[in-house]
Amino acid sequence: MTMTLPLNSTMTTPMKHSPVVTVSSPPPLSLGSSFPRRLRVSCVATNPRKTSEQTHKKTFRPIKEVPNQITHTITQEKLEIFKSMENWAQENLLSYLKPVETSWQPQDLLPRTNDEDQFYDQVKELRDRAREIPDDYFVVLVGDMITEEALPTYQTTLNTLDGVKDETGGSLTPWAIWVRAWTAEENRHGDLLNKYLYLSGRVDMQHVERTIQYLIGSGMDSKFENNPYNGFIYTSFQERATFISHGNAAKLATTYGDTTLAKICGTIAADEKRHETAYTRIVEKLFEIDPDGTVQALASMMRKRITMPAHLMHDGLDDDLFDHYGAVAQRIGVYTAMDYAGILEFLLRRWKVESLGVGLTGEGRRAQEYLCSLAQRIRRLEERANDRVKLSLRPSVSFSWIYGREVGL
């Protein structure tokens, strides 16, 4: 599920005694990229793959690591804001959760298992429809599923936010209740896509499952700094990005004639939209209480770049797997740089950033000016990059997820 300015380079520079610092071409967005167009100097260290003998001798290390992270930047004064918002959250946030009894479940959209003959017939129909869908779509669908399956990381990360974390694992504060119930609703997304992809017969599930395990083991570089301002800005952006991505995947499935898959993706998109609304309401309330601190936090997150939570994706073979997956998503129109700019514009309108006036410090006004010009700058740079790409040949990359077949970027 990274915004960068369009540049054109991809390389890896070895560090002394390994690992390598990756300087890669990630997407200008949270769920995709165009290739080869962007340069981002990443602090993510990719550990070299080990032989089986080395693996047994050495202590386990994540395949990708994020060193030197900044922590606990929020002041006590601002922490008190979230304490004061608990009654508001109880009344205005928890209403976006649906009762389990009325919620859809993955089984509602998959072949029924209670009748053996009917089950096999429905699986055959599913596989026949999947056979007509191109590989590039499945690359993106797998990447989306892997992103959803890394949910343990996202719950863990939200529970690092000072002032709103679940202190006990079963806390009854509205913030803690929200995170657990949000996680429970999101958990169905990965379950549903995983089962569909398994039944489709189109993907190498062993490599997909390895990618999920690598990703959860590596975590994510959220850049939240344990600061709930940053965390809720990120989730507002990210939920809208996944709403757009799953929605576009549904539209493409319809064009391929698979209305069942379209319904699967559309159902997930509807959840993401509801969650987006909840998170944007939190930030809207923060703008009401603390416009200066909130606009500065938003500008800070945009300068650091909203990065897809699965950006540490690795299958054990491809160090640039996330970039390659994102490039395919960009090319087939599931999630693009223009979507990234559109999300920023949507949120700025939603939070009325342009009309902020009273209560802004000089730094707050500078943050406001930066934000209000950013989307247009992204669009201009993307248009120029698209013009350059039209004149160049698109490379192809082999994806382990689809049995090593190549897909154009």
Task: Pick the catalytic residue from 144, 185, 221, 271.
Answer: 271
Task: Pick the catalytic residue from 162, 166, 186, 319.
Answer: 186
Distance in angstroms (rounded) separating the CA atoms of residues 231 and 161: 7
Segments in 58-173 forming alpha helices (H)? 76-84, 86-92, 116-130, 135-149, 151-158
239 is catalytic: yes
101 is catalytic: no
Task: Pick the catalytic residue from 73, 104, 254, 277.
Answer: 104
Q: Is 41 exposed, middle or buried (0-12, 13-18, 19+ CB in 10 A)?
A: exposed
125 is catalytic: no
Number of H helices, E strands in the chain: 14, 6
Query: Encoding tokens for residue 374?
Result: 């950013």
CA 42 to chain centre: 17
Task: Pick the catalytic residue from 135, 221, 239, 382.
Answer: 239
Query: Encoding tokens for residue 95?
Result: 């209403």
Task: Pick the catalytic residue from 46, 173, 182, 275.
Answer: 275
207 is catalytic: no
115 is catalytic: no
- Number of alpha carbons in the 13 Å side-chain half-sphere of residue 391: 4
Element (H, E) at 14: strand 11-14
Task: Pick the catalytic residue from 136, 144, 221, 272.
Answer: 272
Contact of 319 with 17, CB cutoff 8 Å: no
56 is catalytic: no
17 is catalytic: no
383 is catalytic: no
Q: What is the DSSP string of 15-72?
A: PTTS-EEEEE---SSSS---TT-B-EEEEEEEPPP--HHHHHHSPP--SEE--S----
242 is catalytic: yes
Contact of 185 with 104, CB cutoff 8 Å: no
Task: Pick the catalytic residue from 175, 182, 189, 339.
Answer: 189
8-state DSSP, 336: -
Task: Pick the catalytic residue from 135, 148, 320, 382.
Answer: 148
Residues 6+ apart with CB under 8 A from 236: 276, 279, 280, 282, 283, 347
* Residues taking part in catalysis: 104, 148, 186, 189, 239, 242, 271-272, 275
